[in-house]
C-alpha cells in the first residue's frame, strides 16, 4: 500500500514539473493556470489518483469491483507470503482514507 501511496506523490511531482515532459504535464502547462488554480488542480488530481489506487487495492482484495467484476484475487510477494485475503483493505484505508 505504501508503494501506491508513494507512487501517487511521484506522479503528481512529474505532472507538475515542466522539466519532466510528461503528456499530463504538457496538458497541464497548456491550461495556463494561475498559481491558485494550479494548486486546485493538483489537489483534484491528488484525490482522483488516490481514489483510483484505493479502488484497485480494494478490488484486488475482493472488497470492491474492478470494472464489473468483484472477486478475491490471491497475490503473493517474492517470499511466497500472501498479500491478499483481507489484509490489503485495512492498510489501504490507512494510507488513502485516513489521510495519512
Residue spans per domain, the chain: 2-96
Asked if 36 and 26 count as a contact pair (C-beta separation under 8 A), the reply is no
How many CB atoms within 10 Å of residue 80?
A: 6
Residues in the chain: 100
3-state secondary structure 5-55: HHHHHHHHHHHCCHHHCCHHHHHHHHCCCCHHHHHHHHHHHHHHHHHHHHH
Give the cell for residue 85. Answer: 485475503
**Local confidence pLDDT in tens for the 100 residues of the chain:** 789 999 999 999 999 998 898 999 999 999 999 999 999 999 999 999 999 999 999 999 888 999 999 998 888 889 998 887 767 888 888 888 886 5
pLDDT at residue 97 in the model: 86
Amino acid at each position: 500500500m505504501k508503494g501506491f501511496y508513494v507512487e501517487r506523490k511521484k506522479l503528481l511531482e512529474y505532472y507538475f514539473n515542466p522539466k519532466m515532459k510528461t503528456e499530463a504535464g504538457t496538458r497541464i502547462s497548456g491550461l495556463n493556470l494561475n498559481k491558485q488554480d494550479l494548486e486546485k488542480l493538483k489537489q483534484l488530481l491528488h484525490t482522483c489518483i488516490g481514489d483510483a489506487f484505493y479502488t484497485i487495492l480494494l478490488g484486488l482484495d475482493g472488497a470492491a469491483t474492478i470494472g464489473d467484476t468483484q472477486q478475491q484475487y490471491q497475490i503473493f510477494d517474492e517470499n511466497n507470503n500472501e498479500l491478499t485475503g483481507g489484509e490489503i483493505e485495512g492498510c489501504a484505508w490507512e494510507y488513502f482514507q485516513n489521510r495519512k
